Amino acid sequence: MPDHELKFVMLGESAVGKTSIIHRYISNQFNTMPESTITAYFHTKMIIVDSHSIRLHLWDTAGQERFQSIAPMYYRNADVILVVFAVDSADSLQKAILQIQDVKMSQVQRGQQIILLGNKCDKENQVKGQAEQYSKDFQIPVFWVSAFNGTGISDAVLYAIRKASSSKSSGNHLSGVVDIQAKREKGCCM
C-alpha cells in the first residue's frame, strides 16, 4: 500500500495540451498527433518522494471540455486540480480563470490544491504578465510548462504532490523523487 494516494485532474479548454502533458509526464514522450480523448482515461503512476510512496491518479478529461462545462463531480474529490491554458491563447487563459471560479464555487473539500499550468511555453508567451498578475492576486501558483520539450512538468507535479501530501498529513516534508512505475489505465469516470 502506498503511503499516499493522490488524485489529480486536468481542466482547461480543448487543445491546450492536457493529454500531451499527461503523456509527457507518464511516458516522457511527445506525440504530435495525440488521439483525441474520447473516453475518460486515468493514468496511474507510482513514485517515491523521499521515503514516501505515492500513487498518483492522473485524470484526463474525456473531451467533454469541448461541449459544456465540466461537471463538478469530475473534480470534487480531487486532491489537485491542474488548470491548463496555452501561452499562445489569451482565450484559453480566460477560460482557465472561469474554470477556477467554477471550482471554487463548488468546492466542498478543504485543502484541494489548484494550480495553473501555462503550456506550450516553447512558443512565444503572449499572456505572461496577465497570468502572473492573476496568480499573485488570487494566490494560485502558475507554472510555465511544455509538453513538447518537457519543461517544467515534473517540477509542477512535484510541487503539487508536496502541497497535497502536506495538507493530507501535516508534518511530512518530501524531497527527491524516484519513479518506480507508470502505467496507463482505461477507466470510466462519470
Ligand X SMILES: Nc1nc2c(ncn2[C@@H]2O[C@H](COP(=O)(O)OP(=O)(O)O)[C@@H](O)[C@H]2O)c(=O)[nH]1
- Which residues of the shown chain bind ligand X in the complex (CB under 6 A)? 14-20, 32, 34, 37, 119-120, 122-123, 146-148
Site membership for Mg ion, residue 113 (CB under 5 A): no
Please state the closest distance from residue 60 (CB atom) to Mg ion, in A. Answer: 6
Please state the closest distance from residue 36 (CB atom) to Mg ion, in A. Answer: 6
Q: 54 vs 58, which CB is nearer to ligand X?
A: 58
State how far the Cα of 81 lies from the Cα of 92, in Å rounded to an integer.
16
Of 189, 11, 164, 7, the C-alpha closest to 100 is: 11
Measured on CA atoms in the order 44, 121, 70, 139, is the torsion positive or negative? positive
Residues 35-94 that bind Mg ion (CB under 5 A): 37
Among 6, 12, 17, 19, indicate the residue that binds Mg ion (CB under 5 A).
19
Please state the closest distance from residue 142 (CB atom) to ligand X, in A. Answer: 15
Find which of Mg ion, ligand X, none residue 148 binds, CB within 5 to 8 Å per kind: ligand X
Is residue 13 within 8 A of residue 152, CB to CB? The reply is: no
State how far the Cα of 80 lies from the Cα of 140, in Å rounded to an integer.
12
State how far the Cα of 106 lies from the Cα of 112, in Å rounded to an integer.
12
Of 47, 1, 54, the C-alpha closest to 180 is: 47
Q: 61 vs 165, which CB is nearer to ligand X?
A: 61
Which stretches of the chain bind Mg ion, using CB under 5 A?
18-19, 37
